[in-house]
A and B are shown apart, each in its own frame.
Chain A
């Protein structure tokens, strides 16, 4: 029998600048039990979307669920509504959505990789990663008009086209970013100390991943070949060179490398989408009112994002349900902590790239 200590992690913690609280029961620094509280920033957005906002406004409201995942939230919602109302979105708009969605993935993955370097004590690598990420942040601002809270997609298409000047900038900056990402991947993959710190830590086995319905990079790093881009036809990913990235180690190291490889694939997809950009409109007019039920899945940077809508020919929806990736991954995080050394908690938590803003929408 060792020393039993209760250690709260959060609600605010240096390793995770978002409010979540884990209360760990430890025995000689080994975790024997954990409780979780995710409700610090609950904003009642689902309720607001069922009472205050009209269905055409909701795409802009759900973009406020999270600054980082704004593109994915709007995409999830507009896809569900477009399926329900049988709206045929112009192909050019789908390509533009794909470009912005992948730019969003690039900046989010680079943020996660930098953040993980930071909690491992690699301040310099963290700064390199964030400096390089700035390139894609500038591109997102150029394309959408905003650094965060991008209101790009709308029901029926997108709000802005890409001008030739913006396309030129996209190509130039992404070329630089690809070189920098290759360097970052090399460091994350081959640095001796990083390997020592992250290999074999926080391992999700393939069985755990299936039983606990893990989503996103943590699932793919555990040998589970699931990616919404492969399973739900919401954007033309397969036309622009999408690759399903899967690794088998299941540890922190593998989760980071899945993100690095997905970042490189996302850059390639943006180039290919620019090369194959169709001609035509970027938006179609929307007529009528939604009636019935619909659902949509979107591969947000953190994993599967699920939208369910129910409507009855009114401006206000009967139900809007948002199931975000971090919410889906909390059960496996909780399981993973049991038996782990407390010292491994910060890196393990960050390796999931949790988004509490989304979770407590």
Chain B
């Protein structure tokens, strides 16, 4: 498996993905958030069409009060993964609405630890 991980500051994530992403060549899988204790580690996963086990992963860390930039300007389908981040980790993702998964009386940000 060939996984290339690129660490970028949160504010540069959109530019980094824009510079690399070609929809004909790369398939956007999802963005994942992991609570690492007061902060979130975000990973944007991509894989290459037609090639065996080639991945590119962009990683950034965000504080809970940071605004996470949306990448829907570059990858329109990313909205659903971003809305999920807003629901399940309570992140402030640019343009994301809450309530795609959770009802108003659900636990808030259930994937946060502590």
Which residues of A pack against B, CB within 8 Å?
A: 36-39, 42, 44, 46-47, 50, 83, 210-213, 224-226, 230-233, 295, 297, 304, 306, 308, 310, 318-319, 321, 323, 327-328, 330-332, 335, 360
- Cα(A225)–Cα(B24), bound, Å: 11
For the A-B complex, the count of residue pairs with Cβ-Cβ distances under 8 Å equals 90
Is the Cβ of A306 less than 8 Å from the Cβ of B80?
no
Q: Point out which of B47, B55, B75 has the most chain A C-beta atoms below 10 A from its C-beta.
A: B47
Q: Which residues of B come within 8 Å of A, CB atoms?
A: 1, 3, 23-24, 27-30, 32, 34-35, 43, 45, 47, 49-53, 55, 75-77, 79-81, 87-88, 99-103, 106, 110-111
**What is the distance, in angstroms, from A291's C-beta to the closest C-beta of chain B?**
15
Which of B76, B81, B103 counts the most chain A CB atoms within 10 A? B76
User: Is B101 within 8 A of A38, CB to CB?
Assistant: yes
Contacting residues, chain B, for A225 (C-beta < 8 A): 49-50
Given A226-B50, A232-B52, A323-B29; 20 other pairs, CB 8 A cutoff: A38-B101, A39-B99, A39-B100, A42-B101, A44-B110, A211-B75, A211-B77, A213-B27, A226-B49, A231-B53, A306-B29, A306-B30, A308-B43, A319-B32, A321-B30, A323-B30, A323-B81, A328-B29, A331-B76, A331-B77
- In the complex, are the beta carbons of B27 and A212 less than 8 A apart? no
- Min CB gap A336→B, angstroms: 12
Chain A residues with Cβ under 8 A from B32's Cβ?
A: 308, 319, 321, 323
- Closest residue of chain A to B1, judged by CB? A83
| B3 contacts across to A, CB distance below 8 A | 295
Asked whether A318 lies within 8 Å of B34 as measured between CB atoms, the reply is yes
Docked CA distance A323–B33 (Å): 12
User: Which residues of A have CB within 8 Å of B87?
Assistant: 39
Measured between C-beta atoms, what is the minimum distance from A239 to chain B in Å?
Answer: 14
A232 in contact with B100 (CB, 8 Å): no
Neighbouring B residues of A297 by C-beta, 8 Å? 29, 47
The winner among A50, A224, A328 for most chain B CB atoms within 10 A is A328
Does the CB pair B76–A308 fall under 8 Å? no
Interface centre among B29, B35, B106 (most CB of A within 10 A): B29
Q: Which residues of B contact A304 (CB under 8 A)?
A: 29
Which residues of A sit under 8 angstroms from B79, Cβ to Cβ?
331
Tell me the nearest residue of chain A to B29, going by C-beta.
A306
**A358 to B: closest C-beta gap in Å:** 13
Q: Establish whether residues B34 and A319, one from each chain, have CB atoms under 8 Å apart when the complex forms.
A: yes
B100:A38 contact, CB within 8 angstroms: yes
Residues from chain B with a CB closer than 8 A to the CB of A46 are 88, 111
Of the residues B49, B77, B101, contact of A39 by C-beta under 8 Å: B101
B50: chain A residues at CB < 8 Å are 225-226, 230-231
Whether A42 touches B102, Cβ cut-off 8 Å, given contacts A226-B27, A233-B53, is yes
The smallest beta-carbon distance between A312 and chain B, in angstroms, is 11
Report how far A148 CA is from B52 CA in the complex, Å. Answer: 31
- A327 / chain B contacts, CB cutoff of 8 Å: 80-81
Query: A304 to chain B: closest CB distance in Å?
Result: 7
Given known pairs A37-B99, A39-B100, A308-B32, the reply for A213 and B47 (CB within 8 Å) is no
User: Are B49 and A37 closer than 8 Å at their CB atoms?
Assistant: no
Give Cα A297–Cα B100 distance, bound, in whole angstroms: 24
Known interface pairs A37-B99, A39-B103, A226-B49. Does A310 touch B34 (Cβ–Cβ under 8 Å)?
yes
Nearest 6 Cβ contacts at the A-B interface: A331-B77, A39-B101, A323-B30, A319-B34, A212-B77, A210-B23
A304 to B28, CA, bound (A): 11
Decide if A210 touches B24 in the complex (CB within 8 Å): yes
Please give, as numbers and ranges, the residues of chain B lying within 8 Å of A230 by CB-CB distance: 50, 52
- Rounded to whole Å, the gap between the CB of B38 and the closest CB of chain A is 15
Smallest beta-carbon distance A103→chain B, Å: 25
